[in-house]
Amino acid sequence: MTEFLLEVLVRTSILSLLWFGIAVATKKKSAATQHALLVCAMVSIMLLPPTHALVNEVRLAILPALPPLTTPKDVLIPGEVNVVNTHSSSAAGWGLPFGLTSYLLVWIIGSMFILGRYLIGLCRVRAWAKNGESFTNSIGSFQTVISSHVSVPMTAWIGYSVILVPESWRTWSKDRQEAVILHESAHIRRGDWLTQLIARLTCAALWPNPIIWILARKSRFLAERAADDAVLARGIPPTSYAQILLQTAREANASLPQTSVCMAQGPNVTRRIELILHNKTNRATTSRTGLVIGAMLILATSLPTAVMAITNRDSPEAPSQEKAKVEPIQIVVDCTVLKPGVSFSETGLKVFAETKTVHSGKKSASTLSNGLVYSFPIDSATLLLSKWKKEGKIVSHPVVMTLNGQQATISTSMNADNSQTMKFLPTINSKGELTMGFDYDLKQAKSTSFNEYITYTSKTPGTVVISRSMGSSKDPEVLAVVTVKVRKER
């Protein structure tokens, strides 16, 4: 999961930079056109994570080939890890439930905080609209509410579109009232509440990406500019409207919820007034052709960025070398070593002596002549390892990388007189089935007290619990929890 989050962050950053470049290249277009492009950017970025998760990756081998991994005698180097004076370590990352990692937990907390602020703001605006004084204006057809909680005009969608104005509305001139209603009505007709929601959801889902926040802030500013252009298109003089906007901004005395679209708030009001008074400002609206082009840009940017992966070209084989008999697949062995004496019953599984079979619901695992292996669900294994970590039953958590058919050795020294040595021999055949040889040697008080060799075959690499039989009337002893992953296959 951590690798997926990192990959999504990198890909969305690349896509965000691409859209940022498009925004810079189109800065001379009208505010409505630029805003539409940034909305397309937000949609494109939001579609990237699910597309990357669901669509198969397409690899583009355009980088130079890497030199082949060989030794002078074509002998592949086995993996070996020595762990000395180890203490109990976490195999689950902070002991988190449901297979969560610390990175994923931080990501979720950040997203929930942003969404929580948005929902709280929505509830506040809904309460203001409900408790305010509703009236019908002759300028626009949308519901308008006078509220003591707002200091500047704003619009929001709370199941229906509503315009909220401050109590000073009654003292405003008709020209100012008309300009304000035209501005807020333009927001409603343009659907700016929806585009603002899309931007907020994108920021919540991918909040570690700073470029997305820049694009969202720019989108909010362009939405205000587009509404300004709509007011001027209705015949309001630019100088009069600029004065109204400045006066409204001066009356703003509180921060309003992100749920709303406010007429005059924030540091960009001065820039908006400059553009209102500039006669050469492009004030064109977005055409249907522009919307179609935007939709095509979404597909043209999000899909390739989500599925393409740049890799190295295959290295040419030396003509004097023979092909290896064993397919060079990199295999990662993630092993959690337990202290002696951990009983198999702690896993929550049951062993029936008469059948020598392990049962967990509808699943079962065969019992071998000199050992027992059970394929364990990853989530269940994470919870179990978290429990054992808190109880101090984990000796170490080494991770070693080896190759298909090559032995990996993990040596653990608990103290001067006690040590454990585990040797793994993974082999993956052409059907993808994994055969694992597991040689376990325990030394206590400078004498070999236990040695066992176990082999098992699994259709897919995964997490297993390896135990040894303690006799027909005794509970088996858990030796280790092993996760096997295939990192690279050529």
319-348 confidence digits (pLDDT tens): 444 444 445 677 788 888 877 778 877 777
**What's the CA gap between 5 and 183, in Å, rounded?**
41
- The answer to whether 90 and 111 are in contact (CB under 8 A) is no
Is residue 293, in this structure, part of any structural domain at all? Answer: yes
Average pLDDT, the chain: 75
**What's the CA gap between 398 and 59, in Å, rounded?**
31
Domain boundary, last residue among 273, 306, 339? 306
Q: Is the pTM of this model over 0.75?
A: no
| Residues 145 and 209 placed together within one structural domain of the fold | yes
* 49 CB neighbour count, 10 Å cutoff: 20
Is residue 455, in this structure, part of any structural domain at all? Answer: yes
Is residue 409, in this structure, part of any structural domain at all? Answer: yes
- The answer to whether 13 and 209 are in contact (CB under 8 A) is yes
- DSSP result, 350-367: EEETTTTEEEETTEEEEE
Average pLDDT over residues 61-81: 49
| Residues 242 and 362 placed together within one structural domain of the fold | no
| Residues 154 and 287 placed together within one structural domain of the fold | yes
Average pLDDT over residues 107-129: 90
Upper half-sphere CA count for residue 215 (Cβ side, 13 Å): 37
Question: pLDDT per residue over 45-57, tens digit each?
Answer: 888 888 877 877 7
- How confident is residue 361, by pLDDT bands cut at 50, 70 and 90? very low
| Residues 209 and 265 placed together within one structural domain of the fold | yes
- How confident is residue 70, by pLDDT bands cut at 50, 70 and 90? very low
Is residue 124, in this structure, part of any structural domain at all? Answer: yes
Range of the domain at 341: 330-488
| Residues 279 and 371 placed together within one structural domain of the fold | no
Domain boundary, last residue among 240, 272, 306? 306
| Residues 294 and 336 placed together within one structural domain of the fold | no
- The answer to whether 245 and 46 are in contact (CB under 8 A) is no
Is residue 77, in this structure, part of any structural domain at all? Answer: no
Average pLDDT over residues 201-228: 91
Is residue 80, in this structure, part of any structural domain at all? Answer: no
Is residue 18, in this structure, part of any structural domain at all? Answer: yes
| Residues 128 and 271 placed together within one structural domain of the fold | yes
- pLDDT of 315 above 60: no
| Residues 296 and 342 placed together within one structural domain of the fold | no
**What's the CA gap between 21 and 40, in Å, rounded?**
14
| Residues 299 and 380 placed together within one structural domain of the fold | no
Is residue 338, in this structure, part of any structural domain at all? Answer: yes
- pLDDT for the residue 89: 36
| Residues 298 and 334 placed together within one structural domain of the fold | no
- pLDDT of 368 above 70: no
As beta bridge partners, residue 365 has 358
Domain boundary, last residue among 271, 306, 341? 306
| Residues 296 and 344 placed together within one structural domain of the fold | no
Q: What is the number of domains present in the chain?
A: 2
| Residues 256 and 395 placed together within one structural domain of the fold | no
